[in-house]
Amino acid sequence: MSPYMLWAGLLSTTLLASHAWAKADYNGQQRVLNFEKCAAFFPENNPKLVLDNYSQALSPSQLCSDSFAVLYSKRTKTPLVVVEKLNASMVQAKGETSGQAYFADSRIDKGEAAELSDWNGSGMDKGRLGLLSSFGQPNANAQTYALTNVVAQPPRFHKQVWSKVETEVKNYVSVAKGDVYVYTGALFTSIDKMQILGNNRVWVPTHLYKLVYDPQTNNAWAYVVANEADAQIGKPLNYESFMRTARLRLLP
């Protein structure tokens, strides 16, 4: 090999290494499956308001990440709800760089978690529920690609429907005067008609919701949208309507 080719190879390797995507890291506290260490992401530092909504039959696990909390179900192999505490400066930060790899969350035992192979041949996109809180934070952004933060979404719904809901929430938070709590969750309203993915039997939500709570204005509103390619986004619901529709009581 010529000296030039050797130098070019070394240079190429260096450039690739310098542009490698961040690998998600979980600290010791985040490997303990308990919301105690990320209670600050919840209103009044009280995760119990969320936990009280979910039956132990769903085998829920409490997962903390750098910028969001996930209540994950070992039965559905999906997040049930992701909670983020946002403010204007967070969502105005530079967004993510595309290209990060999805990964199975090592904090959940094999057989109780979704794996990448479950999506093979499904025709479904991987849709992240927690996202906005990770802007400008490489490790937090990498953590959003854990499959414990992902649900299956039809490609058109993912790219053209749910993305509009995300934008609506981001726009609201960008002008908010203080902290805003955002709950993003999956609903399974029709077990008989529900689609199942892969060997790990990952449930596909029938609906997704995003609930926004602004303590500064004591205002809460939500979108509940069918997880379907041709879904339409209706008008936002007030909190009372959301509770009736989703059968969830998440706020203080």
| Residue 98: per-residue pLDDT | 58
| Residue 89: per-residue pLDDT | 87
Q: Assess if residue 98 is contained within a domain.
A: yes
| Residue 243: per-residue pLDDT | 97
Q: Of how many residues is the chain composed?
A: 252
Q: Assess if residue 252 is contained within a domain.
A: no
Q: Assess if residue 251 is contained within a domain.
A: no
| Residue 12: per-residue pLDDT | 39
Share of the chain above pLDDT 70, in %: 87
Q: How many domains does the chain have?
A: 1
Containing structural domain, residue 217: 3-246
pLDDT digits (tens, 9 = 90+) for 82-130: 999 999 988 887 655 556 899 999 999 999 999 999 999 999 999 999 8
> Chain centroid to CA 19: how far?
25
Kindly tell me if the per-residue pLDDT of 79 is higher than 70.
yes
pLDDT digits (tens, 9 = 90+) for 163-222: 999 999 999 999 999 999 999 999 999 877 789 999 999 999 999 999 999 999 999 999
| Residue 183: per-residue pLDDT | 98
Instruction: Give the span between the Cα atoms of 240 and 252, in whole angstroms.
Output: 13
| Residue 138: per-residue pLDDT | 82
In the beta sheet, which residues pair with residue 150?
128
In the beta sheet, which residues pair with residue 62?
71
Kindly tell me if the per-residue pLDDT of 8 is higher than 60.
no
Instruction: Give the span between the Cα atoms of 173 and 252, in whole angstroms.
Output: 20
Instruction: Give the span between the Cα atoms of 102 and 105, in whole angstroms.
Output: 9
Q: Assess if residue 140 is contained within a domain.
A: yes
| Residue 137: per-residue pLDDT | 74
- Joined together, the tokens standing for residue 148 give 């414990």
**What is the average per-residue pLDDT within 45-60?**
96
| Residue 30: per-residue pLDDT | 85
Where residue 111 sits, what CATH number does that domain have? 3.40.570.10
| Residue 19: per-residue pLDDT | 39
Residue 95 phi/psi, 5-degree rounding, is: -70, -170
Kindly tell me if the per-residue pLDDT of 18 is higher than 50.
no
**What is the average per-residue pLDDT within 230-239?**
96
Q: Assess if residue 29 is contained within a domain.
A: yes
User: What residue type is 201 in one-letter code?
Assistant: R
8 Å CB contact between 218 and 237: no
Instruction: Give the span between the Cα atoms of 221 and 242, in whole angstroms.
Output: 8
Instruction: Give the span between the Cα atoms of 225 and 166, in whole angstroms.
Output: 12
8 Å CB contact between 92 and 12: no
Residue identified by tokens 């204007």 is 88
| Residue 4: per-residue pLDDT | 37
- Identify which has the larger pLDDT, 11 or 147: 147
Give pTM, 2 decimals. Answer: 0.88
